[in-house]
Amino acid sequence: MAPKFFVGGNWKCNGTTEEVKKIVTTLNEAEVPSEDIVEVVVSPPFVFLPLVKGLLRSDFQVAAQNCWVRRGGAFTGEISAEMLLNLSIPWVILGHSERRSLLAESNDFVADKVEHALSQGLKVIACIGETLEQRESGSTMSVVACQTKAIAEKIEHWENVVLAYEPVWAIGTGKVATPAQAQEVHSELRKWLRDNVGPEVAATTRIIYGGSVNGANCNELAAQPDVDGFLVGGASLKPEFVDIIKSATEKQR
């Protein structure tokens, strides 16, 4: 059986209280496929997590956009996994390329964060992806395999991991990967998981695509056999996020 379609909305560093309430109202009023067909997780900035958690419909979940690599303590400005759990926030996005590049988060550091978050009971959306330069030099697969390997070496259980393939050149650029480009990397990643972790993990781990997904391109991407959902940035702040959620029905055809 195909794993359940997953749609994540990464709001990044956007929004005011009023804007956040407006997005949540749109989501709460939306008619979407049932929870059996699609899992929806939205990720507001830390400061809005309790507000969104309190207002959001109960069939949608909430994710933080990061968390600290160890237990809390003397780490000014950080948020620990335990704090997220204390607020009943079940998910966290880790290893987003904006953090890997701007804050120099290495493969090892990201893997340590994934390991710690899982060990505390969070579910993780782990992001990987190549830059334009890496794609053009033909190293896409070795880059994403290396990022995945760092994680695979540190964790034993994959049930609470969603792997988000997000080519850096497609993020926020309007330059979406073609369905064939996405399918190619997703299928290679699944093969990598099969060969290096195991057939069960390869068959059940959701591999989702991120990078300029919108209401117009989501159906064709969702129809690709190895695309198990999306991580959506810009379009998750807009009403078209509902259309992206609905693209889960492509898997029912």
10 binds ligand PGA (CB under 6 A): yes
Q: Give the nearer residue to ligand PGA in terms of CB position, either 117 or 231.
A: 231
Question: Would you list the DSSP string of 124-183?
Answer: EEEEE---HHHHHTT-HHHHHHHHHHHHHTT-S--TTEEEEE--GGGTTTS-PPPHHHHH
- Choose, from 39, 96, 98, 115, the residue flagged as catalytic: 96
- Choose, from 39, 98, 130, 166, the residue flagged as catalytic: 166
Applying CB under 6 A, the site for ligand PGA has a residue count of 13
237 binds ligand PGA (CB under 6 A): no
72 binds ligand PGA (CB under 6 A): no
Q: What is the rounded (10 degree) CA torsion for 224, 225, 227, 229? A: 100
Give 3's contacts (C-beta < 8 A, 6+ positions apart). Answer: 203, 204, 205, 206, 228
**Is residue 229 helix, strand or coil?**
strand
Indicate if 116 belongs to the active site.
no
217 binds ligand PGA (CB under 6 A): no
Binding residue (CB under 6 A) for ligand PGA from 15, 129, 211, 229: 211
Question: Please, which of residues 79-98 interact with ligand PGA by CB under 6 A?
Answer: none
Rg (CA), the chain: 17
Binding residue (CB under 6 A) for ligand PGA from 125, 213, 218, 227: 213
44 binds ligand PGA (CB under 6 A): no
**Is residue 228 helix, strand or coil?**
coil
Nearest alpha-carbon partner for 149 in 116, 196, 194: 196
Indicate if 166 belongs to the active site.
yes
Active site residues: 96, 166
Binding residues for ligand PGA, rule: CB under 6 A, are: 10, 166, 171-172, 210-213, 231-235
